[in-house]
Structure 1
Amino acid sequence: MELLSPVEFFKFVSRVLTRFRHNQGILLSGAIAYYTLFSLIPLVALLLVVLSALVPEAELLAVVDAELRMIVPWQAELITAQLASFLSHREVIGWVGGVILLFASSLAFTALENAMSVIFFHRVEIHRRHFLLSAVIPYLYIVALGVGLLMLTLLAGVLQSVESMEFSLLQWTISLQWLAQSGLYWMGLVGVWLMFSSIYWVMPVGRISLRPVLIGGAVATLLWEGMRHLLVYYFSTISFADAVYGSLATAIIALFSLEMAGIILLLGAQVIAELEYVRQQDGGLATG
């Protein structure tokens, strides 16, 4: 697929938005937001309980807080505090509680897989996924998220050790604090990109080429980064949700922000689906 001209690019964007509306993308994102709100804290809590046997809790919570600020920045502090409280009382959970947490953590992935089957309906017509594989994928993905969180924690530890370092050049003393801070930011951004891309690679049925997956992940990451700053500004300066919803404001804001994330996630998936359609058209023209 060659680079698109400006006119072709805007036509492509128009087709993506049209198909997204036809697929009821906003309605699907609402379902994803609801189940993600239900699953987010159990999922992260479960990962923290397992990884705390390998890495100090304080380092894990610091990395989780940094990642949450990339996803739900206005709720990150509250969620991190809740997770810290959970870790301090994790001995009361037991095996039964662990199984319940594991089940609750998988609900968001089930909703996401169903939404992806709508966006990639052309794949569902050709491919079928065994129901046992669909049942196992959420738990495999939870394991993969745990590995990713462990790697991010180790990298964050390296960057924090660099933060306190200084070196002299002629008569200037240069601190590496800026390098550590920018490194943490870019590490979080790359983590979001890899998360989006992995979802696009795993959740749809059939095999997807890596290039459109990475493109869709990049589109979703850039859209979310812009939306994240916009929502932070809105909720910190303009919003009067507290006055309208009172004690429900926290849940309403969290649900709204997760729905925005769901819309962007599904828009990235729609971009990939449209890229596949364009490639199929180009292939048909070439063979014709």
Structure 2
Amino acid sequence: MLDQRANVWILSHPLAFAIRVIKGFRANQGLLLAGAVAYYALLSIVPFLMLVVVALSHFLDQAELLETLERYLGLLVPGQSRPIVAEVAHFLENRELITWVLGITMLFFSSFAFTVLENAMSVIFKHRVEIRRRHFLVSAVLPYCYILALGFGVMIVTLVAGTLEVMGEESVWLFNYQWSLNGVSGVLLYLLGLMGEILVLTSIYLVMPVGRLSIWHATIGGVTAALLWEVARHVLVWYFSTLSQVNVVYGSMTTAIVVMFSLEIAATLLLLGAQVIAEYERVGQGQEAAAPKPLRTEPPTV
């Protein structure tokens, strides 16, 4: 009944719902939250990739694993996946120097982004936090469970991508003409990455907010954020390859600046998708006319 009420109102007032989402995102200081998520994601991404590569290199071919990481990391940081993977490969060549202290330190830093993201979700889903709070032990363990799940997902994607690349080297005879499967393989590899984006985003929306979120609501946010990011990613690729002079301005810091900028936009769209879900829930609860209350950062006046 709640979903039916929300669907009817949103289809009748699509522009009003879009304005409501933007106002709610602004009231929750969405850009400020996205900046925090992007900053900690920048600190977390390299330790996370190093942990994943070191662990999976015992089961998968190292070159194939790095190639898969470079391809699909490009979906997150357009144009900058190669230098990041190069650093990971250099670390992999010296993995015998890894001690258990270094491993624990890397695991600790790789969990930062998930912890900050959970806090940002609590701000956006404030109406859920007011009713129920998550136990601190669950919040402490959740990032590491997510790291394990993402590592398993990387292994599955590597195996599937390897199969699709092999298929791309084949061809079939049809109507007395030999058709190469290379184009089909490329399309399937892109769709694999897109589906991976949607699944990861949906899982974030399903797990990070407090309380039980329906799969339907999480899928709405996941598809919204993934499609918006695909548009933004292509714009970023075009901008950095044609108009940007960032390498002239920042020199050796170019990679870090571009990665940070890309993560900032990705985090903004991620939290915007969460805001869509939050407003969808509020509309379903009959709060169509409720104005979002701004999140104040200044101290109260006496």
TM-score w.r.t. the length of structure 2 is: 0.91
What residue identity is the alignment partner of 1:127?
A: R
SS state at 1:71 partner = coil
What's the CA shift for 1:155?
Answer: 0.6
**Where does residue 25 of structure 1 map in the other structure?**
30
Match of 2:167 among 162, 170, 173: 162
Listed as ranges, the gaps of 5+ residues in structure 1 are 284-288
**Where does residue 215 of structure 1 map in the other structure?**
220
What's the CA shift for 1:247?
Answer: 2.3
What's the CA shift for 1:248?
Answer: 2.2
Q: Distance in 1 between matches of 2:241 and 2:12?
A: 38
Q: Distance in 2 between matches of 1:6 and 1:109?
A: 34
What's the CA shift for 1:249?
Answer: 2.3
Q: Distance in 2 between matches of 1:74 and 1:36?
A: 17
2:79·2:237 contact (CA, 8 Å) conserved in 1?
yes
What's the CA shift for 1:86?
Answer: 1.1
SS state at 1:135 partner = helix
What's the CA shift for 1:134?
Answer: 0.3
SS state at 1:70 partner = coil
What's the CA shift for 1:34?
Answer: 0.5
What residue identity is the alignment partner of 1:188?
A: G
Q: Distance in 2 between matches of 1:190 and 1:260?
A: 20
Q: Does 1:243 align with 2:210?
A: no
What's the CA shift for 1:50?
Answer: 0.8
Q: Distance in 2 between matches of 1:77 and 1:253?
A: 13
What residue identity is the alignment partner of 1:280?
A: Q
* Greater RCO (CA < 8 Å, at least 6 residues apart): 2
Q: Distance in 1 between matches of 2:216 and 2:66?
A: 33
2:78·2:236 contact (CA, 8 Å) conserved in 1?
no
Provide Cα deviations, 1:82-125, integer angstroms capped at 9, x if missing partner.
11111111111111111111001001111101100001011110
Q: Does 1:264 align with 2:269?
A: yes
**Where does residue 236 of structure 2 map in the other structure?**
231
Question: What CA RMSD, in Å, does the superposition of the two structures yield over aligned residues?
Answer: 1.5
Aligned residues: 283
SS state at 2:286 partner = helix
TM-score w.r.t. the length of structure 1 is: 0.95
1:77/1:166 Cα in 2 relative to 1: closer, same or farther (>3 Å)? same
**Where does residue 151 of structure 1 map in the other structure?**
156
What's the CA shift for 1:181?
Answer: 0.7
Q: Does 1:254 align with 2:259?
A: yes
Point out the more displaced range, 162-171 or 217-226. Answer: 162-171
Q: Distance in 1 between matches of 2:15 and 2:157?
A: 37
Q: Distance in 1 between matches of 2:9 and 2:86?
A: 47
**Where does residue 14 of structure 2 map in the other structure?**
9
More helix by share: 1
What residue identity is the alignment partner of 1:40?
A: I
Q: Distance in 2 between matches of 1:234 and 1:163?
A: 30
Q: Does 1:83 align with 2:62?
A: no
Match of 1:130 among 125, 132, 135: 135
Point out the more displaced range, 244-253 or 218-227. Answer: 244-253
What residue identity is the alignment partner of 2:202?
A: S
Listed as ranges, the gaps of 5+ residues in structure 2 are 289-302
**Where does residue 56 of structure 1 map in the other structure?**
61
What's the CA shift for 1:5?
Answer: 6.6
Q: Does 1:180 align with 2:185?
A: yes
What's the CA shift for 1:240?
Answer: 1.6
Point out the more displaced range, 189-198 or 160-169. Answer: 160-169
**Where does residue 286 of structure 1 map in the other structure?**
none
Give % identity: 51
Point out the more displaced range, 209-218 or 165-174. Answer: 165-174
